[in-house]
Structure 1
Amino acid sequence: MKYKIVAIDLDGTLLTDSKEVTNENIEVLNALSHRGVDIVIATGRRYYSAKQFVKKTGLENITILANNGTIVRNMSNDELLVHKYFDEYDFYSLIEEGKRNRLHAVTHVNKYLEGYDMVGEYASLDQRYCNYLHEAGNRYKKVKNLLEYEKPNTLAVVYPGELEELSRFKAEVEQKFDGKFNLYLMQKLVGVSPILEIINSRGSKWIALRDYANQRGISTEHIIAVGDDNNDLEMIEKSGLGIGMKNASEEVKAAADIITKYDNNDSGLGKTLREIFNI
């Protein structure tokens, strides 16, 4: 079977733990691109952050499915292709629920052209919260209260915290807001405490990837998806070939058709694609 799209996660997949792209990964991705294979980045990262890492590959005409597929841009010109915002009422209801549980949210917003991508409350002193917000560099906005932030254009709501409290809150949100959100409890992000990421139920990496393929007349059986964490699970299960990294979560490994022999620090992505495509 000729695979036409390769969808790749960033953290724990394309990137090493030190956030670098290995030479072998760069070589293989460029070889695939020259053969006409469509390389797509599918990441939980915001678009600006993802773009900086993808630049390291030397590839330019890349589509990035950012914020777990709730926003899609073409990297060559930053053209906005898709956005799936929170319903405003649902957004404010979720923020209120978090506050009742003494959890502080960082929101990802579509303000790329205005120069920021995250919004957080400056009153929070929680170190995990500050560490997560710090990742945005100078591309974040501080507000006194997210409940007073107008026209949020929110792509994702993220709660940093302890695994137990986030698991409990996840179950509560799923019960109270039945079907309104997709929730991902992320535990494998290097250097960051566990986070609970919540997005519009109409958005996910898989939905964005499936729609992208459909627009190009490509069957999903001609897609390879590669990832390591639970937000990659659906695209790994439903693509023509799902590849889990050696360093992936147990859930991802169980769903994958192939598990790489090498991890993200040893070019597991590039080595596996080299075998599949006989590069």
Structure 2
Amino acid sequence: MTYRLIALDVDGTLLNDEHQLSEQNRNTILEAAKQGAEIVLCTGRGPGNSIPFMEELGLKGYVISHNGAATVDVVTREIVHQFPLDPLALDPYTEYCREHGIHFDVNTAFGLYVDQPQGLKLEVRSMYEAFLMEPLQLPGWLDFEEPVVKFTAFGSMDELDRVYADWSLWTQSVNMLRSGDFFIDLMHKEASKGAALKQLAERRGFKQEEVLAIGNYYNDLSMITFAGKGIAMSNSPEEVKAAADEVTGSNNEDGVHQAILKHVLQG
């Protein structure tokens, strides 16, 4: 089988634990692109801190950002599709976070907003710096000039386990998922990496069986199960591994290189 569209998660998949792109992964991805495969990054990051990896690779095309909530053209920065949230539906979550001291941010396709950007705790500021993000002051819902696409809660694993359990009891008008050990994301009910990847594949004229997807966490499940070949990293939770067609090496072992080499360059 020839895989013509390769969808790659970023953190925990493409990048190692130091948030670096290895030379091995870089060279293998470029060779796959040279042979005609189209590369798309599918990430919980926004386009502002995911497009630079495509530029570093010298690749055009698209990034599926915010866990599928916004798909953006790498060259033009055009938003080719997004799933807007109803901001008013976020009121119970913002109130909960403020009451329980849980940090949260609100995202448009290109903007990230927090309550008090100048007064962030050190661990929160460090997290944004590690992910190359600069928070802005959160305005009122009516003052947003662009659609809100994602709400993210950030905290320790224990804190977010409790938050997830509490929020799971509510009537859900949003798609809630764990996008990492320290993050819970809320998006439009129909937004997911899998839904965005399906739409992009159709837009680009690729069949489902021509799509290869590689990821490592719960937010990758929808694209792993959509793809003709869905691959989990060995650093994935067991549920993600079980849903995948196979498991490759970890993000610190160039698992992306291993999978592309096997299924694209030698396939």
Q: Give the structure-1-normalised TM-score.
A: 0.85
Matched, 1:141 2:136: yes
Q: Quote how far apart the aligned CAs of 1:242 are.
A: 0.8
Equivalent-residue separation in structure 1 for 2:149 and 2:76 (angstroms): 21
SS of residue in 1 equivalent to 2:50: helix
The 1:267–1:64 alpha-carbon spacing in structure 2 relative to 1, beyond 3 Å, is same
Matched, 1:119 2:106: no
Q: Quote how far apart the aligned CAs of 1:105 are.
A: 1.2
Structure 1 spans left out of the alignment, 5+ residues: 188-193
Equivalent-residue separation in structure 2 for 1:217 and 1:230 (angstroms): 27
Matched, 1:272 2:259: yes
The 1:154–1:270 alpha-carbon spacing in structure 2 relative to 1, beyond 3 Å, is same
* 1:218 corresponding residue in structure 2: 206
Matched, 1:10 2:10: yes
* 1:106 corresponding residue in structure 2: 105
Contact 1:5/1:38, CA 8 A, preserved across alignment: yes
SS of residue in 2 equivalent to 1:92: helix
The 1:177–1:94 alpha-carbon spacing in structure 2 relative to 1, beyond 3 Å, is farther
* 1:132 corresponding residue in structure 2: 127
RMSD: 2.2
Deviations 1:127-181 (A, max 9, x none): 44333344465732124xx656732632211111122331222232232132422
The 1:10–1:125 alpha-carbon spacing in structure 2 relative to 1, beyond 3 Å, is closer
* 1:245 corresponding residue in structure 2: 233
Q: Quote how far apart the aligned CAs of 1:224 are.
A: 0.8
The one-letter code of the counterpart of 1:69 is G
The one-letter code of the counterpart of 1:207 is A
Structure 2 spans left out of the alignment, 5+ residues: none
* 1:84 corresponding residue in structure 2: 83
* 2:219 corresponding residue in structure 1: 231
The one-letter code of the counterpart of 1:90 is A
The 1:185–1:137 alpha-carbon spacing in structure 2 relative to 1, beyond 3 Å, is closer
* 1:190 corresponding residue in structure 2: none
The one-letter code of the counterpart of 2:114 is G
Q: Quote how far apart the aligned CAs of 1:85 are.
A: 1.9
Contact 2:89/2:173, CA 8 A, preserved across alignment: no
Equivalent-residue separation in structure 2 for 1:150 and 1:177 (angstroms): 27
Q: Quote how far apart the aligned CAs of 1:225 are.
A: 0.6
Equivalent-residue separation in structure 1 for 2:130 and 2:254 (angstroms): 25
Q: Quote how far apart the aligned CAs of 1:11 are.
A: 0.8
Matched, 1:174 2:168: yes
Q: Give the structure-2-normalised TM-score.
A: 0.89
Contact 1:245/1:259, CA 8 A, preserved across alignment: yes
* 1:51 corresponding residue in structure 2: 51
Contact 2:177/2:184, CA 8 A, preserved across alignment: yes
* 1:206 corresponding residue in structure 2: 194
Deviations 1:226-273 (A, max 9, x none): 01111111211221111111222222111111111x322232211221
Equivalent-residue separation in structure 2 for 1:149 and 1:103 (angstroms): 23
Equivalent-residue separation in structure 2 for 1:30 and 1:158 (angstroms): 32
Contact 2:87/2:141, CA 8 A, preserved across alignment: no
Equivalent-residue separation in structure 2 for 1:247 and 1:138 (angstroms): 25
